[in-house]
Structure 1
């Protein structure tokens, strides 16, 4: 009798699992595709379970193996070759599949505004996107949703108030000065410096000091894991992300990922414990007013923010507060190295505003041209090339009907270089387009979204821009530079939009 009960339970469980499998991986994709087709939205037929993941990955990889023949910034065809192909085939609105997740690609700024601002509560980060973010960032601000996100945002936001960031310019300048001294010493042997590695170490030092009260060297292994070790695993993780429950299987790649996160947890716990012990031993009266200090206060006073939350949030800000600014500075220096006339204009503004003094909170706010150059860099080489939001309830976006469970995908790189929005010079480096501000730079202000916008705008936006201004101004004060003849132009996706071969610059002391 007992054996029959066990057999019956097994049959019920197997039937339920089979029904869910058939529903999720076979019936639902076909039903949604048929519904969207009736509304005039078509796209490439999805492969069973995989969708278009393999095609997207393969097309990107094939292009990454070839450098660009010219110094062009028209890069949409390189970072999104599959989307460009489907746009030509199906029109500006089309559907493609990330595994079993249907994504409608939309390149209309007004719809972008509705999703990210007006109808923010109806659209949230997609399940597939969150799973991927959790793999390398943990459950920090970037990868939580709903009330959990609101709570984390309220906690973290005070650390990034504009006036507080302006007070950090001295710390940022101190980190930059040490890096520039090292570059100057290196120049005596070789004036050519691969600058992307240098600015990555510098921005790591800045986020370590300003957010965690420590140094880059102390957190070096944290950065190595988050910026190198985990990203090396991501392509393979993405390739297998369509497999049900893949992230829970004890496969070699997952075991490696779990081991890296265990090491990260241990390293970050050590930094947290050091701050806590300093207060307990009387070495300090408070946890401090940096990001870690604010989070420790919340962790001690609220049951809604646990020690686990604290560790996950530290992971997020170690990587997000470091990689975004490093990439922005790398591309900016690449562009100024390739356009000496703009470099000279920027240097003239820095000398007019700052003279030979270290930039401070007041002078940084007056560096208008430097800000324009940074905005134009973000337009041509945005930190994220795509943004996806899943529809939580059936919605209408203008004339576009979006069923529940369908995601809307915005190709940021495409929007940023759309000639209908930016003019015929959309693929060219022209910071003057921002001379009257972002709202006047193109036909629709929401076509520019390097940090997103609306309630979920990047909380570190002001920090990244002020940090980049201080560092760029100090570089311009001390060096002139040009692109090395060894520079190979190959922008491609590699844990963000990166120059595959780095950016070698030839420096001259001013």
Structure 2
């Protein structure tokens, strides 16, 4: 009777059996899923790295051993801490590679210039031969894909520098007209106005101290100058109106440096950590500000036509985008335009401010070149201190040589990365798919085999006959086009002319107005954060000059 009550007349026993079978099936499926995930994890973190390492070492490559799962990231962090804890470099010393790139410097010293390190479970191979680096950057057959930073990269910017394939080609086609020389010439008054504001403020600081000189940390000053320039030239607004974006971008870069060493962990940026949440809030705020600016300009363009486009980069880009769309081709979405604007802010402000800062520091260390550059500026732009024009800036040969030499010694972007997505032969080595290639520009720029025994010395005269003949190795032949200050190949920085014109304008107006001297409080400590910045600031004494 008890049994019949439990089973029941409707076949409850069979229902219980079906439930048991369902539970068993679910448990089996879960076990299979766990086993599959475990197998994938073992393949990703152990088997594949060892397989790739064997393939590379069999061809003679040497490097650090693989340490699951972090690779060389703990070692890189330790070496960076040790480099920053050492005393600053002596004034006039430009041998910055051991301090700025300690992991790659040590790996190349111990294992050769083409050496292997590990980014998590991914093998990294340094390509330090200029010709091989050019081949990678040219990417004629599409065998090398750009390595981004995933979600972190998008939080910082997501413009031309991060796109691939057809999307990159379309964006490049739309953005390029904004950087044509005739358009840049029309931006020079904005450059000059920003530089005049800076010089005037510095003159007021010098006079306010009761004398003719003052001490200034030129690093934040150059950030402010280039931020002002990118606001006026790119967006038609003043620095004060764009100040919030600069503040947010600077905070975003600092936060990005804190998490950069953890990106090899899958899904790390998805974790709701305090830093990740803050970075997402910053990105939303920046994109909201830019979205508002773009919406207003697009509305003005639709209402007033081409007359309202203006001479700034945003107006020119929107005009080009509308022309592309009206001709039936695919244009850029609002989100795409926001990404390009974020790249304008990031690349346009950070890289040029780094270049100008190091140029002022180096000219303080080498007063003979400061004197020669100033003499040239005064010869080309004599008179009442009127703003330099394009023709005059083009005649500043010594200033140009100085800027190129500073770009060589203090390359803002120390290295770029590419990945093989299919087997590819390069320099006699066949790289399997999934290998990261690192092009250490800063190391190449300090290589004695490329630039000669004086590679770590400040010698602007090496660029007297142009970039192609600047590098002269021990045999005298050297390497043509061994300067990678603006990258290379089809992805060469689209803003190269913009940056050089801005730097020439700023340096010319500063040299015309001030004598420069390093402050006793200055510590020569270059460090990538992520661009090669002065870690403790760049304190310079400015002494007013009398205009002729």
TM over 0.5: yes
Q: Does 1:473 align with 2:497?
A: no
Q: Does 1:264 align with 2:286?
A: yes
Q: Is the 8 A contact 1:167 1:361 kept in 2?
A: no
Match of 2:6? none
Cα 1:249–1:317 shift into 2, 3 Å: same
Superposed, which structure 2 residues align to 1:102-501 within 5 Å? 102-117=123-138, 119=140, 121-127=142-148, 129-137=149-157, 139-190=158-209, 191-227=214-250, 229-279=251-301, 285-297=307-319, 301=325, 304-356=331-383, 357-442=386-471, 443-501=478-536
What's the secondary structure of 2:240's corresponding residue?
A: coil
Output the CA distance in 1 between the equivalents of 2:457 and 2:537: 21
Output the CA distance in 2 between the equivalents of 1:105 and 1:188: 51
The Cα RMSD (Å) is: 1.9
Q: Is the 8 A contact 2:152 2:269 kept in 1?
A: no
What's the secondary structure of 1:336's corresponding residue?
A: helix
TM superposition score normalised by structure 1: 0.95
Per the TM alignment, residue 10 of structure 1 is displaced from its structure 2 partner at its CA by: 3.4
Per the TM alignment, residue 315 of structure 1 is displaced from its structure 2 partner at its CA by: 0.8
Q: Is the 8 A contact 1:133 1:142 kept in 2?
A: no
Output the CA distance in 2 between the equivalents of 1:120 and 1:496: 30
Output the CA distance in 2 between the equivalents of 1:393 and 1:290: 41
Q: Where do 5+ consecutive residues of structure 2 fail to align?
A: 1-18, 472-477
Q: Is the 8 A contact 2:187 2:311 kept in 1?
A: no
Cα 1:462–1:284 shift into 2, 3 Å: closer
What's the secondary structure of 2:481's corresponding residue?
A: helix
Q: Is the 8 A contact 1:67 1:489 kept in 2?
A: no
Q: Does 1:24 align with 2:44?
A: yes
Match of 2:57? 37
Output the CA distance in 1 between the equivalents of 2:524 and 2:119: 29
Output the CA distance in 2 between the equivalents of 1:151 and 1:19: 40
Q: Is the 8 A contact 1:155 1:294 kept in 2?
A: no
Output the CA distance in 2 between the equivalents of 1:398 and 1:273: 49
TM superposition score normalised by structure 2: 0.88
Per the TM alignment, residue 431 of structure 1 is displaced from its structure 2 partner at its CA by: 0.5
CA-to-partner distance for each residue in 1:285-320, whole Å, 9 max, x for gaps? Answer: 433343212333455536541111111111111111
Q: Is the 8 A contact 2:186 2:311 kept in 1?
A: no
Output the CA distance in 2 between the equivalents of 1:26 and 1:19: 10
What's the secondary structure of 2:161's corresponding residue?
A: helix
Match of 2:474? none
Candidates 102, 106, 121, aligned match of 1:100 = 121
Q: Is the 8 A contact 1:114 1:120 kept in 2?
A: no
Output the CA distance in 1 between the equivalents of 2:193 and 2:98: 40
4+ runs deviating over 6 angstroms: none
